[in-house]
Structure 1
Amino acid sequence: MNRAVEPKASQQEPSKAEFIRSVALRLFVNEGYQSVSLRHIADQVGMQAGSLYNHIESKQTLLFDFIQELEYRLLHSVTKYPITRFDGRAALSNYVGYYLRFSIANRDLHILSRREICSLTPAQKNSVENLRAQQVARLEEIIAIGQSQGVFFVENERVAASATLAMLDGVIGGALGGDLKIDVLIRLIQSLIYKSLSAAAS
C-alpha cells in the first residue's frame, strides 16, 4: 500500500534564519534601526539573544545585507532590458515601470534602504552608493537619448535623473492608496515624469 509522504518542515515554513530576517526587517522599518536591539529581535522570535549569532553575524551586517540586496536587485531590474536607442520615451517608461513595480513589491526593504543608509559603516555606504550611482547612470543615459531625439529638454541630465529618482522614491515612501491599482499608479507616474522632462518643448 502506498503511503503518503509527509512534507519536510523546511518545505512548509521558512527557516529560522529567514524568520529572524523577516522579524528584524519589520522592527527596523516600524521602530527604526537604532531603536531595535538584538535582545528585542530575540524576544520577538522567541529565543535567547546569544542564540541569534547562530543565524546572523550581527545587527549591523543584517542591515547592510538588507540594503545591499535591495539596491542590487533594483539595479538588475532596471538594467535587465536593452535601452531602445530609437525611442527615449519607451526606454523611460520601461525604467519607471520596472523601478516602481519592483520597489512597491519590496516596499519595506526600499523604505529601510532610503531611511537607514546613514547607519551603515563608511565602507558599506560606499558599496550601496555605487549601486545607486549605476541606477542614476542608466536613467541619465536614457534621458540623454531622449535629448538627442528632441523628446526631452533638460539643462542637466544628471540632475534630471537624480530628481526623477527622488520623485519615484517619494511615491514609494508615501501613502499608497489601497484602492489604486499598481498599473494605474505606474501609468500616472510615467506620464508625470515624461511631462516634466519634456516641459520645455511646449
Structure 2
Amino acid sequence: MEQLKLVAVSAGLSSPSSTRLLADRLAEAAQERLAEQDRKVEVEVIELRDLATAIANNLVTGFPSPTLGAAIDAVTKADGVIAVSPIFTASYSGLFKSFFDLVDPQALTGKPVLVAATGGTARHSLALDHALRPLFAYLRALVVPTAVYAASEDWGSSGDEYTEGLPARIRRAGGELAELMASRPARDESTDEPGEYERQLADLRFD
C-alpha cells in the first residue's frame, strides 16, 4: 500500500508559535489515525515565516525561489493538507493568503484540507467559517467538517459539559482528515495531470 503525504502549512510569525504547535498536534492526530489503519504517512511542515521574503518577491516578479517552489510543489502533490493561520483583524494573515495565492487554483481540487487557526481570544473563532473555510471551498478542496480554533485559554483546557476541550477537537479533526486521505483515490505519480475525479470537481468552478 502506497505511503501517503501530509503537508501542514503554518503561518505563525513567532518562533516558537502556538500556530506551529497546533499544526504539529493536528498532524500527529491524523498520523495516529492512519497508523491504526496500517497506513504509512510522511509528514512535512512548511513554516511560512521562513518564506515571507520569497513569497513577496514571487508576487511582484512572478517567479518563485527554489525553496518556495519546493513548498508549493509539496502542497500540490500532498494527499492531505493542514492549513493553520493566526487570526488578525478577524481573518487569516496576509502571509497565509499570499502563499495560497501562489498555489495553482486547480491544485487543491478534491484534496482533503483541514483548516485551523489560533488567536488571543475565542471571539475570533468565527473566522474559521467566514474566512478560511470559504477560501478552500472556492478552491474546490474537500474541507474537513471539523475546523479547530485555539485561543490562548484553550491550551491545557479539557473543556466542560457543554464544550469539547482542544485535545478532543484536535483528535476529531485529525481523524476526519485521515479518513478522507485514506479513502482518496490513488494518484498516478507518472503525470502531474489531475485525475477524472479532480477534473469533474474543477468543472464545477464558477469564476
Q: TM-score band, normalised by the shorter chain?
A: under 0.3
Max radius of gyration: which structure?
1
TM-score, scaled relative to structure 2: 0.27
TM-score, scaled relative to structure 1: 0.28
Higher-helix-fraction structure: 1
